Amino acid sequence: MALFLSRSVHKVDKKGRVSVPSGFRAALGDELVQGLGLNMPIVGFACIEALPFSKIEERMNVLDSLPVDEAEAMSLAHQMLGTLAHVTFDGEGRIVLPDYLMEYSGIRDSATFVGLGRTFQIWEAEALAAHDVSTRTIARDNIKLLRKPTSAQAEGET
């Protein structure tokens, strides 16, 4: 599977439309026609998280198996599906950002795309700058997480 990598800044027009970097679209390949899922990251970062549609289907299958009579499970479902917007590409490779996500992320007339491998994020410039600073500190403090390949790999590696 292809990867979303590097950063780029794009204009958001009056309709809330924004071009997705061509590299990201290329990475989507056949999944381009299915569009993207956009939502608020569960960890609370002030940005828009973007996923290929196939990832959404995966999520839904997991959430489907959760009990409907538990507030915790339903809260999780609300955050992972209820805040999610399904958007499709126009002929020029643009998507429309929903109002509530623009408001949440602070994006107005410009958006920065940040590749994160299998997903990517969309940020307002100043919020991203602040996030860069704060994560640098946190990352430095937690770099040791990478230093235990034995247990970590056993779980996650495919």
Partner DNA sequence: TTAGCGATGCTGTACGAAACCTGCCTCAGA
Partner DNA sequence: TCTGAGGCAGGTTTCGTACAGCATCGCTAA
Q: Does 103 bind DNA (CB under 7 A)?
A: no
Q: Does 91 bind DNA (CB under 7 A)?
A: yes
User: Scanning residues 25 to 84, which ones bind DNA (CB under 7 A)?
Assistant: 26
Region class of 113: left (phi > 0), else alpha (psi between -120 and 50), else beta: beta
Q: Does 16 bind its own copies (CB under 8 A)?
A: no
Measured CA to CA, the distance from residue 73 to residue 65 in angstroms comes to 10
Binding mask 6-25 for DNA (x = CB under 7 A): --xxxx-x-x-xxx-xx---
Q: Does 98 bind its own copies (CB under 8 A)?
A: yes
What residues make contact with DNA under the rule CB under 7 A?
A: 8-11, 13, 15, 17-19, 21-22, 26, 88, 90-94, 96
